[in-house]
Structure 1
Amino acid sequence: MEISARYCQKELEAYGSCVASNPSTWQQMCHDLKMKVSKCTSTHPVIQKIRQDCSQEFVKFEQCLRENQDSPTTCTPHVSRFLGCAETVDLSGVATNPAHQSS
Structure 2
Amino acid sequence: MEAALEVTARYCRPQMEQYGQCVAKSPASWQRDCHQLRMSMSRCAAAHPIVRRIRQRCEEPFAAFEQCLRENPAAVVKCSEQVDAFLLCADRVKVST
Q: TM-score range by the shorter chain?
A: 0.7 to 0.9
| 5+ residue gaps, structure 1 | 94-103
Q: Please list every run of at least 4 consecutive aligned residues from structure 1 whose deviation after the TM superposition is greater than 6 angstroms.
A: none
CA distance in 2, matches of 1:78, 1:33: 22
Whether 1:71 and 2:75 are equivalent positions in the alignment is yes
Q: State how many pairs are aligned.
A: 93
Query: How does 1:77-92 map onto structure 2 within 5 Å?
Result: 77-92=81-96
Gaps of 5+ in 2: none
After TM superposition, give the deviation of residue 90 of structure 1 in Å. Answer: 2.4
Q: Percent identity?
A: 46
**In the alignment, which residue of structure 1 is the partner of 2:63?**
59
Q: Which residue of 1 aligns with 2:26?
A: 22
Q: What is the rounded CA distance, in whole Å, between the counterparts of 1:64 and 1:54 in structure 2?
A: 16
AA at the equivalent of 2:41: V
Structure 2 length-normalised TM: 0.87
Bigger Rg, structure 1 or 2: 1
RMSD: 1.2
TM-score, normalised by the number of residues in structure 1: 0.83
Give the distance between the partners of 1:38 and 1:22, measured in 2 at CA.
19
Post-superposition offset of 1:36: 0.3
User: In the TM superposition, what whole-angstrom CA distance separates every residue of 1:21-47 from its partner, at most 9, and x where no partner exists?
Assistant: 111010111011011011111111111
- Offset of residue 16 of structure 1: 1.5
